[in-house]
Amino acid sequence: MERLGVEESEALNIANQLCQYGYFFPVSDTKNLTVRDDSSLYRFQSPYYWPWQNRPPDNVEYAIYLAKRTLRNKQRHGLEDYELETLGSLRKNLANKWDFITMQAEEQVKLAKVLKKGDKIVSDSQERAYWRIHRPPPGMVSSLEQCPVPNRCRNGSRVRKRTIEDCKREVELLKNSLLRTRVKVSQALESMMQHVETYAEYDPLIVNTQPSNPWVSEDLTYWQLNSPLVEIPTEKRVRRWGLSMEELVSDPTGIQEFTNYLRKEYSHENIRFWMAVNDLRRSSQSQIQRKVSEIFDEFLAPGAPCEINIDGKTMEKVHQEMKSPSRFTFDAAQEHVYTLLLKKDCYPRFIRSEYYKSLLASGIQPSQKKRFFGFGPTKKKASTSSAPNPSLLQQQAPPTTIVGCGALSKRRGSDRSLSGSAHELAISGVRDTRVPHSHSQSNLSDIPYRAEVNDEYGGTDPESSCRIKKPPSVAVVASVSTSEDVCPWEVTPEPHSRKNSSQMDSCSSSSDISAVVTEVSDRFRRTCGITQQSTLDGGQSSRKLSTVSFVEQRRASVSVPIRHSDIRPSVSSFEESSPAVFAAPVSLAVASDTDNKTEEFTSTKTFKKSCSLTKTCSVTGANAPIISVSSVTDDTVADSIEHKEDDEAESSLSLPLAPLAEPDAESASSDTPLETESRPEPEAKSNDVCPWEDEETCKVDAPFVKTYATLGYL
């Protein structure tokens, strides 16, 4: 076991397998071929009988064996019922050989008598075990059973005779392979890893699905929300379209939306042509002719109703091909349309368009359901009013892939750190040490920064008249004190505070929960004892906003004045509904863990969160939240490493817990969280999550955030 580095269960399984294959067998039990984890004895089969000797036993041998047993002591060698039966039938079938068989049997019995008693027992049992495997009692499975398929029988490898054609083909192939251009392994692997990392969040076997995996929870909501054609796709799905053109067109809803968008632009003939050619390629043979001419007439013929715009060379090729129409006739044209028009032009425009942004904003955010805010009786149906915090937090993924620039991994990293990756946290921890961060920040936000906000608010952005920028900087110092009854629900300080921030995000962004925000800020004020103008401000602004909404989710926010240090308040926000299923047991365990470590947890985590809430004065009176920064910074490396352990255990948990925020119902219209076009540098460097800024507000936001971030890091 040690040598193989396996666990007991696996060792047992291997032993069982070997037993089933007849390499050894239980001494006392002739009926079953299983290895148990006790002290029972097993005997090795004589190598002569091992299956890899590959001598399939024939019936004559079996008959001899059975006959032999009939000749011997009844009590010890008596035959089982099924053996008697087979003996009978063998006797019938092998009648002509039967004399020979009995002779052989007698011979063997005689030989056996010469042996010592011990040897006799051993060889008897080995023989018996051998036949037990090769002629199993009825109803028992045999591992050695073979497929009746020629190739699967191992005797004599059945490789086809090679013809000269085969050889020629092989040589040809090898020659071609030599000419093939290859990339470096490192390059190939890097891109594979990137792909895997990007898609990890869409992998239900790695990340928990929202709202739940139907196979686990028996709840079909997930499938309902994600059926192939839906009216309102989930936000996550829309985001996925942003990853690549292929993602978009492999989703029926994606194609539909894309077509709708292009139709509005009067340029949907390209996508329609592309789809028609795809359809042609997959049509049944009988329809090829008809479809080819249909496509030609509709898209390619001079003066066609939906003429597509392709260059002369490609057109020529098409005309050539048209002479002998096949399912591949339009491949060249399709390729042209796909790569040059759709992928390089239409698709990027689509992803940048308002249309896409509004889809993103109105996307369903299913996670809401009961995971987080389960106990709010006042919970509204969240369907329309949702756009998620994951959206906010993970928003980056799409832009990263699109932008594809250097900051890529970093951004993704920051993204992940918020959703609970320990590894990223470690990175963030290394970055800076700013213990007093929280203070500087809050101070900052009440003085210079604020001015700026006002500035911006009044001056630079005239067209959105009632724009409110709310920079509530909330510094959460998460040092969980042993003291508290506090958070058995929260697992580690880290995710916990992270969650906090996100929740705050969620509340302020959705502006539904202003009450909670105020509550939090109140507590903050109390605990910190520092003027928290900003928080106050936050409270106010969210209150303002709250005129349109109710308290949608409730959260009890517990704040604990800290013992060990005077400056560090620990705020733990208690979520009643913390994911019922798995969080509970694990978190308890880890919680105690953290208790022990409390002293070591002198980390300061700061969460900056600037939420610029934009009320546009559009007809819908839309109310779109933009949360631009939410940064997590650890102050010490050691610390973050400290956390790492816990985090790792927890990461899988915290992922599903990952923050959700809901934008307002109406936010759909214009200002939606989308990818960052231009991202302030300091931000990129830091661990910030400022994934998206609205294109139109970008100009305003960027400097804003920049200053903010810079100041924050002073």
Partner 1 sequence: MSRDVSVKISPVETIESLTKEAEHLKIKLEDERQKLNDVTLAAVADRLEIINYMNVKPRRTLKGHQAKVLCSDWSPDKRHIVSSSQDGKMIIWDAFTTNKEHAVTMPTTWVMACAYAPSGNLVACGGLDNKVTVYPLSLDEDVTLKKKTVGTHTSYTSCCTFPNSDQQILTGSGDSTCALWDVESGQLLQSFHGHAADVMSIDLAPSEIGNTFVSGSCDKMVYLWDMRTGHCVQSFEGHESDVNSVKFHPSGDAIATGSDDATCRLFDLRADREVAVYNKESIIFGINAVDFSVSGRLLFAGYNDYTVNVWDTLKCVRVCLLYGHENRVSCLQVSPDGTALSSGSWDCTLRVWA
Using CB under 8 A as the binding rule, the residues of this chain from 291 to 330 that contact partner 1 are 328
> Which of the 8 DSSP states describes residue 364?
B
Q: Which stretch binds partner 1 (CB under 8 A): 6-14, 479-487, 614-622, 690-698?
A: 6-14
Give residue for tokens 């632009």. Answer: 265
Question: Considering beta carbons, is residue 47 or 228 the nearer one to partner 1?
Answer: 228
170 binds partner 1 (CB under 8 A): yes
Q: What is the dihedral of CA 257, 259, 263, 269, to 10 degrees?
A: 180
200 binds partner 1 (CB under 8 A): yes
Question: Considering beta carbons, is residue 55 or 162 the nearer one to partner 1?
Answer: 162
CA dist 312 and 673 (Å) reads 42
> How far apart are CB 320 and partner 1 at their closest, in Å?
16
CA dist 24 and 39 (Å) reads 15
CA dist 494 and 604 (Å) reads 10
Determine which helix (DSSP H) or strand (DSSP E) holds 390, and give its type and residue range.
helix 389-394
Contact 593, 494 (CB under 8 A): no
Contact 391, 673 (CB under 8 A): yes
Using CB under 8 A as the binding rule, the residues of this chain from 328 to 357 that contact partner 1 are 328, 331, 338
169 binds partner 1 (CB under 8 A): yes
9 binds partner 1 (CB under 8 A): yes
Kindly write out the interface string for residues 420-439 of this chain, putting x where it contacts partner 1 by CB under 8 A and - elsewhere. -xxx----------------
Q: Which residues contact 156 (CB under 8 A, 6 or more apart)?
A: none
Q: What is the DSSP track for 210-270?
A: SS--HHHH--THHHHHT-SS-SS-BHHHHHHHTT-HHHHHTSHHHHHHHHHHHHHTT-THH
37 binds partner 1 (CB under 8 A): no
CB-based burial, 590-617: b 16+ in 10 Å, e otherwise? bbeebeebbeebbbbbbbbbbbbbbbbe
Tokens of 208: 């928990």
259 binds partner 1 (CB under 8 A): no
Q: Which stretch binds partner 1 (CB under 8 A): 3-11, 313-321, 383-391, 564-572?
A: 3-11
Using CB under 8 A as the binding rule, the residues of this chain from 652 to 691 that contact partner 1 are 652
How many other C-beta atoms are found inside a 10 Å radius of the C-beta of residue 277?
24
148 binds partner 1 (CB under 8 A): yes
Among the listed residues 95, 111, 164, 714, the single contact to partner 1 using CB under 8 A: 164
> Measuring CA to CA, how many Å separate 240 from each of 253, 389, 592, 627, 659?
12, 15, 39, 20, 19
Using CB under 8 A as the binding rule, the residues of this chain from 113 to 142 that contact partner 1 are 141
- Please tell me the chain's helix, strand, coil percentages from 3-state DSSP, rounded to the nearest 5: 55, 5, 35
> How far apart are CB 642 and partner 1 at their closest, in Å?
16
> How far apart are CB 285 and partner 1 at their closest, in Å?
4
286 binds partner 1 (CB under 8 A): yes
Question: Considering beta carbons, is residue 421 or 559 the nearer one to partner 1?
Answer: 421
Q: Which stretch binds partner 1 (CB under 8 A): 46-54, 192-200, 541-549, 608-616?
A: 192-200
Type of residue numbered 240: R
Q: Which stretch binds partner 1 (CB under 8 A): 163-171, 261-269, 342-350, 456-464?
A: 163-171
36 binds partner 1 (CB under 8 A): no
Among the listed residues 180, 312, 324, 377, the single contact to partner 1 using CB under 8 A: 180
Determine which helix (DSSP H) or strand (DSSP E) holds 590, and give its type and residue range.
helix 580-597
Q: Which residues contact 450 (CB under 8 A, 6 or more apart)?
A: 471, 533, 534, 537
54 binds partner 1 (CB under 8 A): no
In terms of Cα–Cα distance, which of 348, 416, 377, 356 is closest to 687? 416
Among the listed residues 50, 98, 199, 574, the single contact to partner 1 using CB under 8 A: 199
> How far apart are CB 601 and partner 1 at their closest, in Å?
21
Question: Considering beta carbons, is residue 418 or 698 the nearer one to partner 1?
Answer: 418
Q: Which stretch binds partner 1 (CB under 8 A): 198-206, 361-369, 569-577, 669-677?
A: 198-206
Using CB under 8 A as the binding rule, the residues of this chain from 548 to 587 that contact partner 1 are 582
Among the listed residues 74, 113, 117, 282, the single contact to partner 1 using CB under 8 A: 282
406 binds partner 1 (CB under 8 A): no
Tokens of 509: 């962004």
> How far apart are CB 65 and partner 1 at their closest, in Å?
26
Question: Phi then psi for 51, rounded to 5 degrees?
Answer: -65, -25
Among the listed residues 33, 249, 583, 702, the single contact to partner 1 using CB under 8 A: 249
Determine which helix (DSSP H) or strand (DSSP E) holds 468, and give its type and residue range.
strand 467-470
Among the listed residues 206, 301, 466, 588, the single contact to partner 1 using CB under 8 A: 206
CA dist 629 and 474 (Å) reads 11
> How far apart are CB 145 and partner 1 at their closest, in Å?
8
Kindly write out the interface string for residues 635-654 of this chain, putting x where it contacts partner 1 by CB under 8 A and - elsewhere. -------------xx-xx--
